[in-house]
């Protein structure tokens, strides 16, 4: 069964190096519900920069951003899962105001809670502008979280 959540931010705004990118609001949710006798796809946002995955399984994350560089140099994004950096992508801006298109793809495995002493869920997903990156002055972003079996 295919299930997906999409978050869109049409106005990213200014982001300094070392800060989390605002991911926006849920704009699309597709999947089964209780009447279809399958578990509900449980993804939520806590604040504008965090996605919380509350159900075990495998999730494909696709982030696309059209980001405006505050200076010439590299725009560097880090994907963090439970506070751990798992992927870094970059794109080079040649001048102030350049709009750079950046895509980030990653598969997250969320393990089930096994007992009272092992708590694997929820999984926390964030995207951070790396400390080595040039600042952003704006842009748009989109992130899609797809659960697959």
Q: Domain total for the chain?
A: 1
The dihedral region occupied by 117, where left means phi > 0, alpha psi between -120 and 50, and beta the remainder, is alpha
Q: Could you tell me how many residues make up the chain?
A: 149
Predicted confidence pLDDT, tens digits, the chain (149 residues): 567 888 889 999 999 999 999 988 877 777 655 555 444 456 666 667 988 888 888 999 999 999 999 999 999 999 999 999 999 999 999 999 999 999 999 999 888 777 666 666 688 999 999 999 999 999 999 999 998 86
Containing structural domain, residue 142: 3-148
> What CATH number has the domain bearing residue 72?
2.60.120.40
Positive or negative: CA dihedral 112, 106, 143, 148: negative
């Amino acid at each position: 069964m295919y299930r997906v959540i999409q978050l869109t931010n049409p106005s990213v705004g200014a982001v300094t190096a070392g800060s989390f990118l605002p991911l926006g609001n849920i704009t699309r949710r597709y999947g089964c519900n209780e009447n279809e006798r399958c578990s509900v796809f449980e993804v939520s946002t806590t604040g504008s920069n965090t996605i919380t995955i509350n159900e075990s399984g495998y999730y494909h994350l696709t982030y696309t951003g059209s980001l405006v560089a505050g200076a010439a140099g590299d725009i560097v994004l880090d994907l963090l899962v439970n506070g751990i950096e798992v992927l870094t992508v970059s794109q080079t801006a040649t001048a102030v105001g350049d709009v750079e298109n950046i895509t980030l793809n990653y598969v997250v495995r969320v393990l089930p809670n096994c007992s009272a002493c092992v708590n694997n869920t929820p999984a926390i997903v964030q995207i951070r502008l790396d400390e080595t990156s040039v600042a952003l002055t704006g842009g748009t972003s989109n992130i899609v979280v797809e659960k697959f079996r």
